[in-house]
Amino acid sequence: MPETRSAAHGSRSRVQHHQVGGEEAGVRLDKALARLLPSVPRTRIFRLIRKGEVRVNGKRCGPEQRLVEGDRIRVPPVRERSETAQAIATGTGPRVPPALIARVTAAIVHEDERLLVIDKPAGLAVHGGSGLTYGIIEALRAARAQETLELAHRLDRDTSGILMIARKGSALRILHELLREGRVEKSYLALVIGRWELGRKLVDVPLQTEARVGGERTVRVGEGGKSARTRFRLVQQFGARASLVEARLETGRTHQIRVHAAYCGHPVAGDLKYGDAAANAALRAAGLQRMFLHAHSVSFDWPQGGQVSISAPLPADLKAVLDALGTGAGPAAGAPPRATRSRTRAGRRRA
C-alpha cells in the first residue's frame, strides 16, 4: 500500500514523503504530484520540479520521469491556491455540478474493464486548472468515486471528439507506452484556411514549447524542439475559402496539428492562437463559432490481444459549417467513416 506521512503547520500544505504503490508505477512525476496536490496549479507543480524542491529517492528529477513502485517522493510545502479542488478530491466541500456529471457520462461511447472513451463536447476542459474548477476527469471521478480514473492523453478545450480515460493503473501504463511508441492511430478532422493543394503531406518539423503565460502554452516550430510528425490529406474542398483535411498524428506534441497546419500556410479555421484572424472573421458568417478541430478516431491493439477501434462523427455545429459553405457535409472519396463505432476484437492484426 502507498504510504504518505506529513509534517509542518500553518497555512501552507505540509511536507509529504510519499511512497509509490503498484497502481502508480509508470505514472509521470508531474501527474503523480497533481494527484497529491489537487489544489495547486500545474504551472506551480512544474516550477517546484524545476527548482529541485521535489525529490525522488533523494534526487532531483524531471517532470517526465516515470515512477517505479517503491520510489519515495519528497513533496515540499506549498501554499494552496484554493480549497475547491481539495474539497472535490476529499468530498468535504462543493461538488461537481450534477448537470456537468450528466453531460460527461452521456458522452461515453465505449467502456470496458480497462478503458472509457468519451466523445468530448467542445468547450469542456479535460481537467481543472488555469482558472477552471472542474473538467471532464473531475466529473468522471465524481460519478465513479470507487474507480481510479486517469487521462490517457489530452485534447484542447475547444477540440471535440475521442478522449481516452484509463480505468486501471496497469491500463494507463500500457496506453502511455503505446502512445510513446507510435502504436496508437489517432485521426483528426480539421477545416483549414485556403485551398489545400499539397496532396498527401507529411510534416516532419520539431516543435518547441514557449514559456507559459497565465497558464497558456505557446508552441512554435524550432530546431531545438521535440520531434513532431503529422500526416495530412485532403478530404474535401470548399473553393478557395477552406479545405477539410484529415490529420494523422505520429507523435503527440502540444498543439501539434494546429502549429503544423499553420506552418503549411493553412491554419485551422477558428484557431485564435495560431490562425488567420481575417479568415476566421469571414467564416463566422458560415456559423463557425469555435476552432474546427475534431478528434475523429483512435485505433490500437492491446499487447495482451484484442483491438480497440472507435470513431465519432463531426458534431452538429461543425457539420452545419460545412453545409453553409455550399457543398454539404458529404465526404469525398476515401474520407473517414462518419458513423460512431466502437468495437473490441481479439486476435485481429492491422495491415
Q: Which three cell numbers stand for residue 252?
A: 503527440
How far is residue 244 from each of residues 97, 136, 191, 313, 338, measured CA to CA in Å?
36, 28, 4, 14, 14
Tell me the HSE value of 210 on the side-chain side, using a 13 A CA sphere.
10
- Give the residue among 351, 349, 250 at the shortest CA–CA distance from 303: 349
- Maximum alpha-carbon separation in the chain: 66
What is the rounded CA–CA span in Å between residue 127 and residue 226? 24
Query: What are the catalytic residues?
Result: 156
Q: How far apart are CA 184 and CA 336, in angstroms?
A: 17
127: amino acid identity, one letter: H
Chain-centroid distance, C-alpha 343: 22
**Per-residue burial over 274-311, b = 16 or more CB atoms within 10 Å of its CB, e = otherwise:** bbbeebbeebeebebebbbbbbbbbbbbbeeeebbbbb
